[in-house]
Copies of this chain bind each other. A is one copy, B any other.
Amino acid sequence: MSGLTVALDAMGGDFGPQVTVPASVQALLQFPELKVVLFGDLSAITSQLSLLNQTNHPRIQIVHCDNVIANDTRPSQALRRSQGSSMRAALDAVSDGTADACVSAGNTGALMALSRYILKQLPGVDRPALVSAIPTLGSKRTWLLDLGANVSCDADTLFQFAVMGAVLAEQGTPNPTVALLNIGEEHIKGNDQVRRCAEMLADLDDINYVGFLEGDQIYTGKADVIVCDGFVGNVSLKTSEGVANLFIASLKKAIAEHPVKRLVAKWLFRDLFETVNQLKPDQYNGASLLGLRGIVVKSHGSADITAFTNAIGEAVNEVKRQIPTKISDRLEEVLLERHY
């Protein structure tokens, strides 16, 4: 591939250019074919670049933007007041073909609303989904979607999510298994949407549908793709974070009360914290907005340099694998298969 350009919302996230600029430099080291366009405040960006002695990096371009979309801006407000903002400008670059993908650590709702408005959905996609890879037993990873972009979904929408998730999972796993998250494994369990989507998927040769999965099996690696509506997915992901935090707090407390345990704590905590951090997958990997006519990766607002670099890496991988085209092709195939 001859060159690959990622548009970065340099101002997004809790730390703005302090994280996005060093992460860009790191990503450029990892991907020799990558070019980066930084959208945001020129002086803030250049001062970060000069700290890194990278003011004249041949693969970095800066586009000054006057505005930033704040974290508490509502999606509807973001749509009206996005002109001149770094997020909007980065998405416009994808829309006009100047960039191949956009990465932002900014306001999720605003990013979703602007992405839909500027890039539009792919044909066959009713609603884009937010997806992320979560760690599982046996060092596999499982794609979980939707993570909160769509609070309620009908069977058709869940079906589209399943197809989109399968395409994304094929990056690493041939013929990935796809499951629906439910409150029991028997076919009578769950709500109408989930049961009807299960029937639709079971009828399909093109998707390796393996049935229902319960919450306690999300992290077992039993499926490569797990599909649910955004309310359930968001609660499940955030519950995981909460449990990890409770676990760490309980362990710290138990250890703090015991001097010898305290001595070995740091030594043991290395492993513990690694596991816990993996339970914050959007922070770790970035989450993708799937189903748009363009690649958009959402990094966690509190992402550090490594996490934001990972998010850029996810965008690069999706560009290389032409995920939107593949989703579009696959949806056309399965819709044909369903109708004939």
Q: Do the beta carbons of A275 and B250 come within 8 Å of each other?
A: yes
A152 touches B191 (CB 8 A): yes
Distance between Cα atoms of A241 and B237 in the complex (Å): 13
- Residues of B close to A279: CB separation below 8 A: 243, 246-247
A286: Cβ under 8 A from any B Cβ: no
* Chain A interface mostly: helix
In the complex, which residue of chain B has the Cβ closest to the Cβ of A239? B215
Q: Is A183 within 8 A of B151, CB to CB?
A: yes
Among listed A31-39, A171-179, A224-232, A324-332, interface-contacting one: A224-232
Which residues of B are found within 8 Å of A268, using beta-carbon distances? 255, 261, 264, 268
- Give chain A's interface residue range (CB within 8 Å of chain B): 35 or more
B residues within 8 A CB of A215? Answer: 234-242
In the complex, chain A residues 101-143 whose Cβ is within 8 Å of any chain B Cβ: 135-137
Residue A62 at the chain B interface, CB threshold 8 Å: no
Are A231 and B232 interface neighbours, CB within 8 A?
yes
For A245, list chain B residues within 8 Å (CB).
216, 219-220
Q: Is A206 an interface residue (CB 8 A)?
A: no
Question: Is A251 an interface position by the 8 A CB rule?
Answer: yes
Q: A181 on the interface (CB 8 Å rule)?
A: yes
Quick check: B264 and A242 within 8 Å, CB to CB? Answer: no
Kindly name the residue among A218, A239, A249 whose own CB sees the greatest number of chain B CB atoms within 10 A. Answer: A239
- Closest-CB distance, A193 to chain B (whole angstroms): 9
Residues on the B chain within 8 Å of A218, using CB? 239, 242
Distance of A246 Cα from B275 Cα, bound (Å): 9
How far, in Å, is A307 (CB) from chain B's closest CB? Answer: 17
Instruction: Judge whether B247 and A275 touch: CB under 8 Å.
Output: yes
Contact of A235 among B181, B267, B275 (CB under 8 A): B181
Give the shortest distance, in Å, between A124 (CB) and chain B (any CB).
25
- Smallest distance from the beta carbon of A233 to chain B beta carbons, Å? 9
A-B contact pairs, 30 of them (CB 8 A): A74-B188, A137-B246, A151-B191, A152-B191, A183-B230, A183-B231, A183-B234, A190-B231, A191-B231, A214-B234, A215-B236, A215-B241, A216-B238, A216-B241, A218-B239, A219-B243, A220-B245, A220-B246, A235-B236, A236-B236, A239-B240, A239-B243, A240-B242, A243-B244, A243-B279, A247-B279, A251-B272, A251-B275, A255-B271, A264-B268
